[in-house]
A and B are shown apart, each in its own frame.
Chain A
């Protein structure tokens, strides 16, 4: 996208949006970034019901007479935040709204995100007002296995309608974040953490074997923990490992090789130090928030981690991540913007919060690009979406036009 250096007054074109209007709508953009292909100049996205009916140049798409219109300089898919804790790590940061981390045991794979997620938390509305339409959210980093994650739309609040995957991944941490701060509570060391995980996975392997026995009376009682770990072992669910230091990244890869797990690496500040190993594994990386504070385990975090991984042939997505204080949540749009300006480039950064994120989350059949048949999740901007002074002027989630002041 061409950048202009202009000292003049910022011109803002406001788009008037109907209050949560649902129905057919034609969304016109001076540029439409479908992400599935090249940007379309003077493009249009035709929405019918909850789905995209057509995308193309304005002269090529027949718009039925009387179809309501939205217009913007730039139209993109709604953002897919590849890893967040919004809806669990509540807006106020008081005990009553903090659901992201249960510290009573180091491994609690039975904790479901859908039992904790608050779809009406103010931060859900907030990130949506900046274009986020899909969240991969759930239990936070900070325990060896903190619980499950989910993939959910930022509208409507009814989970029956908004959840794309109620049990997307198991959230794990390795390295400093997995360690207990109490001397009498394991794990106290990195080696102990991995030993605990291995022992649990071996038990889960045995549980799965017994559950497969033909004789019902020889099967063990149902165990929610082993049941979830079994999904890792049969590769129906990936393990989302938040890990920063190079030795911990390698420990995660070692664990995956031993138990034939599917991994999604998360954070991975030190990834450039072990690039070959990550590339060889074939696992994707949800890169640390670009603007993450470079302290402790993430002390080697770089604005260029995403670009280096992309250049190294590793599938990547970007994330807002987990914050314990302020900002209460990062905004994945801004993290992508900073990556775009630091080697990743506009199109890769755009893909990292749309289609590439959707692929890693296993929901690319529904969201992540502007293509006929996909969910009508669309974001509208009055300029380059990554520029600091650009506004998000409209958001459409599953065909519903959300009312919001330009932000």
Chain B
């Protein structure tokens, strides 16, 4: 697919446009393209929000490019966090267990300091989800962490021309409550099946109408959204922990044929072969200790390694604020600690995440024509001692550790949680370079 075609397909309808027209060339660093072998002393050129050139030492740099020497540093694609709760987004309310019509789009505060922390962690693309206290808690939102002040500035328009996002579903104990919520796992699955059967009927009535407005069923936001799931236009991002709950998701997926991603998958190591056979990707969270809830008692760092070995596409997520976006790379490193390959772990925070969000033609690897989303690191991405130095989204720098305000977002301290105070107060006291 050519870069031009990508541009047409993926052009944002938002007012945000890439301002960086003059090319910028990053020269001399170690480039980790992810889809290809590392390039030592490489050349990476970005222009107009896209990657223009990538190659080894000596690769021609376009005339007029601003040259950035980054010897000793590492460049990799901007990180893709497949499950986050940035901006304190709330989805469905307590009135019912199934609310697909509810949109995170209508609920997100993009000025929340958590967005700055995510940029400080090198995250450039993020799936912001409603919570897991419902069988279906609403429509998730895939965002680019552009330096915007309104939600529209961060949106991604997908191939279908709509705002990119998935559908959040959950099973297990989080969605079990007093009626009208389900009280058992059997009831949970029955309620979900009932709704998808209704959506199948809704779609068939639309089809039968054959474009005749007088024969169309009344517009129903709930069934319309589930219809997008049934036609494969919207991916189900499914919270699930226990092995039997994971298999229940796979059973529903077979029955209704939707695209699904399994999230958390604490027991994933137990049913890795089933997940692999279903060709369903997983998004894994790495927690410092197991427990905390019954379903997560057997959570184990080995899950991504076991899934990788079984042939499953494995991404990672922060579940921010469960884990902090600033150390998202740590999840990949802990995966390696427990046996995952280094390559697989790095894919897990980049291109696997892009596949999970159905955005891999645009983000997740450093390839000519893809968005110029990148992170500049001080060293090995899997080392504790490595710092995120810069984060770029579509050719614009959105985080720069040498800027005291950005450094404050990275380290925390007085004002990091309150932008008003950060403006007024003394960086040297808390955040200044010393």
Contacts and interface: CB of A to CB of B under 8 A. Distances in A.
Contact of A327 (B287, B380, B411): B287
A127 B287 CA distance: 13
Contact of A331 (B288, B333, B380, B414): B288
B43 interface: no
Q: How large is the interface on A (under 10, 10 to 19, 20 to 34, 35 or more residues)?
A: 35 or more
B337 A300 contact: no
Given A126-B290, A328-B290, A334-B288, A388 B333 contact: yes
Contact of B382 (A270, A304, A389): A389
Given A5-B380, A294-B417, A302-B411, A389 B337 contact: yes
B429 A6 contact: no
A110 to B, nearest CB: 29
A181 interface: no
Interface string A1-44: 00101110110000000000000000000000000000000000
Interface stretch (A91-99, A151-159, A250-258, A278-286): A91-99
Contacts of B418: 299
Contacts of B287: 326-327
A388 B292 contact: no
A340 to B, nearest CB: 7
Nearest to A246: B414
A323 B294 CA distance: 16
Nearest to A9: B342
A299 B327 CA distance: 17
A249 B204 CA distance: 66
Contact of B291 (A6, A123, A331, A337): A123
B412 A329 contact: no
A249 to B, nearest CB: 14
Interface string A300-330: 1111100000000000000000010111111
B423 interface: no
Contacts of B412: 294, 300-304
Contact of B416 (A291, A300, A387): A300
Contacts of A388: 330, 333-334, 336-337, 382-384
A338 B384 contact: yes
B288 A330 contact: yes
B323 to A, nearest CB: 8
Contacts of A330: 288-289
A365 interface: no
A386 B292 CA distance: 24
Interface in A80-127: 90-94, 122-123, 126-127
B289 A272 contact: no
A391 B414 CA distance: 35
Indicate the member of A6, A7, A91 with the most B CB atoms within 10 Å: A7
Contacts of B430: 272, 300, 302, 304
A389 B333 contact: yes
B416 A92 contact: no
Nearest to A386: B384
B79 to A, nearest CB: 15
Contact of A391 (B289, B337, B384, B417): B337
Given A5-B379, A293-B324, A389-B336, A328 B289 contact: yes
Interface string B271-314: 00000000000000001111111101100000000000000000
A167 interface: no
Contacts of B416: 294, 299-300, 302
A272 B292 CA distance: 32
Contacts of A224: none
A390 interface: yes
A162 interface: no
A388 B401 CA distance: 22
Contacts of A304: 411-413, 430
A284 B327 CA distance: 28
Contacts of B290: 91, 122, 126, 328
A329 B330 CA distance: 17
Contacts of A273: 414, 429
Contacts of B429: 272-273
Contacts of B414: 270, 272-273, 300
A291 B289 CA distance: 14
A195 interface: no
A340 B384 contact: yes
Contacts of B410: 303
B321 interface: yes
B338 to A, nearest CB: 8
Given A294-B412, A295-B417, A303-B412, A93 B337 contact: no
Interface in B300-353: 321-322, 324, 327, 330, 333-334, 336-337, 341-342
B350 to A, nearest CB: 15
A247 interface: no
Contacts of A300: 412-417, 430
A326 B324 contact: no
6 contacts: A294-B416, A299-B416, A300-B413, A302-B412, A326-B296, A389-B336
Given A302-B430, A327-B289, A390-B337, 15 more contacts: A90-B291, A91-B290, A93-B294, A273-B414, A301-B413, A304-B413, A304-B430, A326-B291, A326-B292, A329-B289, A330-B288, A330-B289, A387-B383, A388-B382, A389-B333
Q: Which 5 residue pairs across A and B have the least CB separation, nearest first?
A: A388-B333, A326-B292, A328-B291, A302-B413, A299-B417
